[in-house]
Chains A and B, each alone.
Chain A
Amino acid sequence: MKVSLNHLKRYVDINVSADVLAEKMPLAGFEIESIEKQGEGIKSVVAAKILKITPHENSDHLQICQMDVGKDAPVQIVTGAQNISEGDYVPAALDDSYLPGGVHIVSGKLRGVESCGMLCSGGELGLTEADYEGAEVHGILILKGEPVPGTDIKEVLGLNDTIIDFSITSNRPDAGCFLGIAKEISVVLDTEFKAPKTAYKTIGGDINDYISVSVENGDLCPRYMGRVVKNLRIAPSPDWMQKAIISAGMRPINNIVDITNFVMLETGQPMHAFNYNDLKNKQIIVRNAREGEKIVTLDGSEFNLTADMLVIADVQNPSCLAGIMGGKESEIEADTTDLFLEAAKFRRDNIRHTSHALGIHTESCARFQKGTDINNVEYAMERALSLIYELDAGDIIDGFADIHGTLPENRIIKTTTDKVLELIGVDVPKDVMVSILNKLGLNTTLDGNEMTVSVPSIRDDVEGRADLAEEIMRIYGYSHIKGRPMRGEVTRGKKLPERLKADKIKNLLCAAGLREIATYSFINPAAADLLNLKEDDERRNMIKIINPLGDEYSALRTQLVWSMLSVISTNISRKTEAARFFEISKRFFGELPLKSQPDEIPTLSIGIYGEDEDFFTLKGIIEAVMKLCGAHTEYKRSDEPYLHPGRQAAVYANNTIAGTFGEVHPAVAEKFGIDARVYVAEIKLDVLYSINRRKLIYKPLPKFPAVERDFALITDIETPVGDLEKAITSGGGRLLEKIKLFDIYTGSQIPAGKKSVAFSVWLRSHEGTLTEEQTEAVCAKIIEKLQKTGSELRK
Chain B
Amino acid sequence: MKEQLEAIKKAAERAANEALDEKQIEEIRVRFLGKKGELTALLKQMGSLSAEERPKMGQLVNEAKEKVEAMIAERRAGLKQKAVELKLKAETIDITLPEKQVNSGGLHPLSIVTNDLIDIFQSMGFDVLDGPEVETDHYNFECLNVPEDHPARDMQDTFYLADKILLRTQTSAAQIRTMENRKPPIKIICPGRVFRADEVDATHSPVFHQLEGLVVDKGVTMCDLMGVLEQFAHEIYGKDVNVRFRPSFFPFTEPSVEVDISCTECGGKGCRVCKGEGWIEILGAGMVHPNVLRSCGIDPDVYSGFAFGIGIDRITTTRYKISDIRLLFENDKRFLEQF
Contact = CB atoms under 8 A, between A and B. Distances in A.
Interface residues of B, number: 86
B161 A600 contact: no
Contacts of B331: 517-519, 567, 570-571, 581
Contact of B130 (A169, A490, A498, A516): A498
A192 interface: no
Interface in A325-373: 347-349, 352, 369-371
A545 B161 contact: yes
A345 B105 CA distance: 62
Interface in B184-208: 185, 187-189, 193, 195, 197, 199-200, 206-207
Contacts of B48: none
Interface residues of A, number: 93
B207 A424 contact: no
Contacts of B162: 546, 593-595
A486 B232 CA distance: 12
* Interface hub of A171, A369, A423 (most chain B Cβ within 10 A): A423
B228 A486 contact: yes
A579 interface: yes
Interface in B138-159: 148-152, 154-155, 159
Contact of A547 (B197, B231, B246): B197
B125 A516 contact: no
Contacts of A517: 108, 331, 336
B106 interface: yes
A209 B124 CA distance: 74
Given A349-B148, A473-B255, A513-B105, A422 B248 contact: no
B123 A512 contact: no
A466 B304 CA distance: 10
Contacts of B165: 594, 596-597
B196 to A, nearest CB: 10
A290 interface: no
A479 B246 CA distance: 9
A549 B199 contact: yes
A494 B111 contact: no
A506 B111 contact: yes
A310 to B, nearest CB: 15
Nearest to A172: B249
B307 interface: no
B254 interface: yes
A514 B304 CA distance: 45
A454 to B, nearest CB: 19
Contact of B254 (A470, A486, A514): A470
Contact of A422 (B134, B160, B195, B304): B304
Given A492-B123, A596-B165, A466 B254 contact: yes
Contacts, number: 245
Nearest to A425: B221
B333 A515 contact: yes
A751 interface: no
B104 A543 contact: no
B136 interface: yes
Contacts of B187: 493
Interface string B96-128: 000000111111101100000010011111111
Contact of B106 (A424, A425, A515, A594): A515
A495 interface: yes
Given A478-B257, A481-B222, A518 B132 contact: no
A692 interface: no
A581 B105 CA distance: 8
Contact of B122 (A171, A492, A514, A543): A492
Given A170-B155, A556-B161, A426 B223 contact: yes
Contact of A483 (B185, B206, B243): B243
Contacts of A495: 118, 122, 127-128
A600 B125 contact: no
A697 interface: no
A107 B148 CA distance: 65
B73 to A, nearest CB: 39
B104 A546 contact: no
Interface in A467-488: 467, 469-470, 473-474, 478-479, 481-488
Contacts of B123: 492-493
A316 interface: no
Contact of B132 (A169, A546, A593, A597): A597
A365 to B, nearest CB: 12
B189 to A, nearest CB: 8
Contact of A586 (B133, B149, B151, B154): B133
A549 B206 contact: yes
B193 A521 contact: yes
Contacts of B125: 486, 489-493
Interface stretch (A24-32, A154-162, A247-255, A767-775): A24-32
Interface in A409-441: 422-426
B136 to A, nearest CB: 6
B136 A597 contact: yes
Contacts of A596: 165
Interface in A6-32: 26-29, 31
Contacts of B333: 515, 571, 576, 579, 581
Contact of B103 (A27, A464, A513): A513
Most buried by A among B149, B185, B188, B207: B149
A164 to B, nearest CB: 15
Nearest to B165: A594
A324 to B, nearest CB: 16
B193 A27 contact: no
A695 interface: no
Given A464-B290, A470-B247, A518 B329 contact: yes
A423 B254 CA distance: 9
29 contacts: A27-B246, A27-B247, A29-B246, A29-B247, A169-B248, A347-B149, A425-B223, A467-B255, A478-B257, A481-B222, A481-B223, A482-B223, A483-B227, A483-B243, A484-B223, A492-B122, A493-B187, A511-B105, A516-B111, A518-B331, A520-B207, A521-B133, A521-B195, A549-B206, A574-B332, A581-B333, A590-B134, A594-B165, A598-B134
The 4 closest A-B CB pairs, nearest first, are A425-B221, A470-B255, A349-B149, A513-B103
Interface of B: 102-108, 110-111, 118, 121-130, 132-136, 148-152, 154-155, 159-162, 165, 167, 185, 187-189, 193, 195, 197, 199-200, 206-207, 217, 219, 221-224, 226-231, 243-249, 251, 254-257, 287, 289-290, 304, 328-334, 336-337
